[in-house]
Amino acid sequence: MRFGDDPKPAPYLNRKDQRRLLAMVGVLCLVVMGVSWAARPQSWYWLLPPGNETAQNEPVRNETESSKKHFVDVGAINTDSPSQKNNTGKRVSNTASDKRKEADSKKSASSDLPAAWLESINDQVMGLRANESDTYYRVLSHISRLDDRYLKKHARKDVLYVNLLRNPELFRGKLITLRGTARRITETQVGKNQYGVRKAYEAWVLTPDSGSDPIRIVATDIDSRLPSGEEVAVEIEATGYFLKLYSYASNGGQYQAPLILAARIEPSVVRISASRGTGLEPYILSFAIFIGLGTIIAATVYSRGDRKFKQKLKTEFSDLDIPPDDFLEQLKEQDTKKNLFS
């Protein structure tokens, strides 16, 4: 039997160990937060901007795809905005959106070609007739003098190939922006005209919605970066007036292609502006260095503590491979009041 004070239990969770565990949990939380922050691409834009080039030769398809989703068959649209008559007999708009639609229609009407220019246009004949050539060169001369900002501001970007094919009268003389893959880019012949047109270039373009049916674009200028030839494949963009359905003969019969008269044919590019610094770069780098050094120091301290603990065990218990009964006998011989783990 043993008399006296009961032996103190080994302090496996003393204050020192508790502080170490809390410190380890804190470091683990910081590591998780750092990994989450580093996993976001935008976290590194200050170091590596999203795109080192100011332009890429890639097609811009966002607007085209958006127009597919929100397109409504224009043949079923009633162009008259909802309105009602007041007591004075004048027509007033029902809502503010109707007023905006009316303003937009007036704005687009101001950029449309005069109806008198289009009286001789006929979609049911092959090529261009003699009385259509005057309008052809007149429109080319007219659009070549318009400002690029004006053209892009007033041009419609939601017109699809099928709209031009099925409802040519509805879009004739209107500004349209088209993007697609040019499969042929050549210089076309220019006849005698009184409008000063001396050069013209044509591109046969396939848009995402036209399939294998091309659209013919004729312009008075072309970007020097574009290749020329009978077989090319380059993404282009052009803004011009829809004139007519151009009928032409090809293998298998007679076909029709929408004819767009533009001022310039350009490569379709995506403009990417380099991301500017936020001014937080030094602080972010300092924080990252602090986290890295803190992790290394904590790991070193914990490793040294573990080695000291093992050495202390080896000093107190020289032979840990003895049978359990002999080990218990050695424990009885130790001073029970001595704190082994302090």
pLDDT value, residue 130: 87
pLDDT, position 128: 87
Strand-pair category, 253-267 with 215-222: parallel
Looking at residue 175, its pLDDT comes to: 95
> What is residue 248's predicted lDDT score, i.e. its pLDDT?
86
User: CA angle 48-292-36, nearest 5°?
Assistant: 55
Q: Which pLDDT value is given to residue 64?
A: 39
pLDDT for 252 equals: 76
Instruction: Note the pLDDT of residue 131.
Output: 87
Contact between residue 27 and residue 295 where contact means Cβ atoms under 8 Å apart: yes
Q: Is 279 helix (H, G, I), strand (E, B) or coil?
A: coil
How high is the pLDDT of residue 227? 93
CB 147 within 8 A of CB 175: no
From first to last of its 342 residues, the chain has per-residue pLDDT tens of: 455 555 555 555 677 777 888 888 888 888 888 888 888 877 776 666 554 433 333 433 443 343 333 333 333 333 333 334 344 444 444 455 555 555 555 545 578 899 999 999 999 888 888 889 999 999 999 999 999 899 989 999 999 999 999 999 999 999 999 999 999 999 999 999 999 999 999 999 999 999 899 999 999 999 999 999 999 999 999 999 999 999 988 787 888 999 999 999 999 875 544 455 556 677 778 888 888 888 888 888 888 877 887 777 677 666 556 666 666 676 666 655 455 544
Contact 49, 274 (CB under 8 A): yes
The residue ranges of DSSP E strands in the chain, in sequence order, are 55-56, 83-85, 91-93, 175-188, 200-206, 215-222, 234-250, 253-267, 270-271
Inter-residue contact 214 to 257 (CB < 8 Å): yes
Q: How far apart are CA 142 and CA 219, in angstroms?
A: 11
Residue ranges per domain, the chain?
Answer: 35-50+275-342, 60-72+98-271
Phi, psi of 308 (to 5 degrees): -65, -40
pTM > 0.85: yes or no: no
Phi, psi of 181 (to 5 degrees): -105, 115
How much is the pLDDT for 230? 92
Handedness of CA 167, 212, 152, 51 (dihedral sign): positive
